[in-house]
Structure 1
């Protein structure tokens, strides 16, 4: 599995993920609405520029609303993260080269008591991102089954 690190601290989660794809391809996966729809949810607004608004429909009327707070093309994307019934938080994606591939570090801060719940969620989404970048998207219908598997693994690792 390309997940090499998952760590938590109070209210925050950090994941490190390795891709066999070059940084530019992973960046496209983070910023192209067609690819975002394959790994995160359906973008209804996706203005990837500093101060731009991003709105993603995760299904059943659950929309995440974000504002881009940091942008360094092909290297860094950070944004606010406003999800229904959750504390406002901030998520950032940092890319760096690693051989012929890319390492992505995801840092999600401000999660409060939701840290444990977000670990399996981000692992599932990054699994979908990796597949989207590789041109082999995973069917959306498998999301929750895969998520449940990662929840079990995460719960076992936390013991």
Structure 2
């Protein structure tokens, strides 16, 4: 998995991820309803334009709703993030060409005390995004086992940072 970096500070999560695919291919992974279903959840609404809404069914009654606040195809996507029983937060994604691929810079802002719980989830989703972009979708049944493993590793990472701080 080409996770380049992850950090959490002041209620914001930042993740950098390298893809061995073009910016356009990664953009399609972020915005195409068929690919979205392979890494984030089943799209209920997928109007990817400034002012448009993307609503996703994540299963078990959990649905997210996002309003696109800024879009510059294929480099930038910004949106709100509404998830049940959580305050509204914001997501910003930037794509840029690096070497023979793409660097995705992902930021999730306004998470407050939820910031640490979002790290393993987004890393799991980005693992699935990478596979979707590569044309090798991962089985949905593996999502929660992978998430559980990453949650353990992420907690150890946070503990190590606290010890060395």
TM over 0.5, yes or no?
Answer: yes
Please give the alpha-carbon distance, in whole angstroms, between the structure 2 residues aligned to 1:155 and 1:64: 25
- Alpha-carbon distance, 1:87 to partner: 1.1
8 A Cα contact 1:87 1:112, kept in partner: no
Secondary structure at the residue paired with 1:131? helix
- Alpha-carbon distance, 1:132 to partner: 0.2
Normalised by the length of structure 1, the TM-score is 0.99
Aligned twin of 1:148: 148
Please give the alpha-carbon distance, in whole angstroms, between the structure 2 residues aligned to 1:81 and 1:98: 28
Secondary structure at the residue paired with 1:142? helix
1:35 corresponds to 2:35: yes
- Alpha-carbon distance, 1:122 to partner: 0.3
- Alpha-carbon distance, 1:99 to partner: 1.1
Please give the alpha-carbon distance, in whole angstroms, between the structure 1 residues aligned to 2:122 and 2:105: 11
Aligned residues: 159
Structure 1 gaps of 5+ residues are none
Secondary structure at the residue paired with 2:59? coil
Secondary structure at the residue paired with 1:58? strand
- Alpha-carbon distance, 1:17 to partner: 0.1
Structure 2 gaps of 5+ residues are 160-165
Moved over 6 A (4+): none
Q: Deviations over 1:92-148 (max 9, x none)?
A: 110000111000010000101110100000000000000000000000111000000
Write the mapping of 1:1-159 to structure 2, written as runs, cut at 5 A: 1-159=1-159
Please give the alpha-carbon distance, in whole angstroms, between the structure 1 residues aligned to 2:55 and 2:92: 16
Normalised by the length of structure 2, the TM-score is 0.95
8 A Cα contact 1:56 1:63, kept in partner: yes
Secondary structure at the residue paired with 1:74? coil
- Alpha-carbon distance, 1:61 to partner: 1.4
